[in-house]
Amino acid sequence: MKALQEQQWVEEARNGSQPAFEQLVRLYEKRVFSLALRMCGNPQDAAEAAQDAFLAAWQGLRFFRGESSFSTWLYRLASNACVDLLRREGRHRAAAGPSLDDSELNLDIPDRTASPQAAAEGAELRRQIEAGLAALPLEQRQVLVLREMHQLSYEEIAATLEVDVGTVKSRINRGRKRLRNFLLESGNFSGRPPSKRAEKEGWQ
């Protein structure tokens, strides 16, 4: 039912219905802002990029042909808006909020309820992850945000960025290895062997 409602809003917005487009904005504004926040690193830039993405969507919706899902198309606009902003302003700040999933990183994060020291160690580890993510080239940060934080499949990321799946996998693999090396150098990466899934997805 939700999918049908979304499709109806898309069709109405394509025909110039501003109320229908406002419904789409309400549906996706949190997800778009979340993506922008992790790409840009601070709420001000994220808000600007998200606004640019929705403006581009409104202006370009009449050309949207549904070859990909609306969400994939919107993520593409948001991701491009973030890259444009970062390159235009030369802003390469740390990504905000919790970064890559701790189990995927295979990190030894202390139980934050155990003690103030454990909580401090956990917070420091997250800061290091964020710093490492911010140090990645934009194209690698872009795919890791989409993959690890927004749980997009390789195929969805490829459609979002308009590249082939092999390019997506290559960028993710290189980005993960660079991030892992960054954490090893900072002394914040677990010494235990990676899981089978981690090995398969490039965390070795």
Whole-structure pTM over 0.75, yes or no? no
pLDDT of residue 82: 92
- As a whole number of angstroms, the distance between CA 150 and CA 109 comes to 22
Determine the 3-state secondary structure of 32 from DSSP: helix
Q: Which amino acid is at 16?
A: G
CA distances in angstroms from 101 to 3, 47, 76, 195, listed in the order given: 28, 24, 22, 14
How many other β-carbons are positioned within 10 Å of the β-carbon of residue 66? 11
The DSSP symbol for 149 reads I
Third-level CATH fold of 2-89: Rna Polymerase Sigma Factor; Chain: A (1.10.1740)
Between vectors from CA 137 to CA 165 and to CA 133, what angle results, nearest 5°? 95
CB 131 within 8 A of CB 107: no
CB–CB of 203/164 below 8 Å? Answer: no
Query: What pLDDT is stored for residue 60 in this prediction?
Result: 94
Distances, alpha carbon 177 to alpha carbons 53, 101, 106, 182, 202, in Å: 30, 15, 13, 9, 7
Q: Do the domains 102-201 and 2-89 match in fold?
A: no
Q: Tens digits of per-residue pLDDT, 94-103? A: 443 333 443 3
Q: What is the pLDDT of residue 119?
A: 67
Low-confidence ranges of the chain (pLDDT < 50): 91-112, 191-198, 203-204
Fold topology of 102-201: Arc Repressor Mutant, subunit A (1.10.10)
Q: Indicate the DSSP class of residue 42.
A: S
What residue ranges do the domains of the chain occupy? 2-89, 102-201
DSSP class of residue 93 equals: P
Give the per-residue pLDDT at 54: 97
Q: Which two tokens stand for residue 49?
A: 């990029």
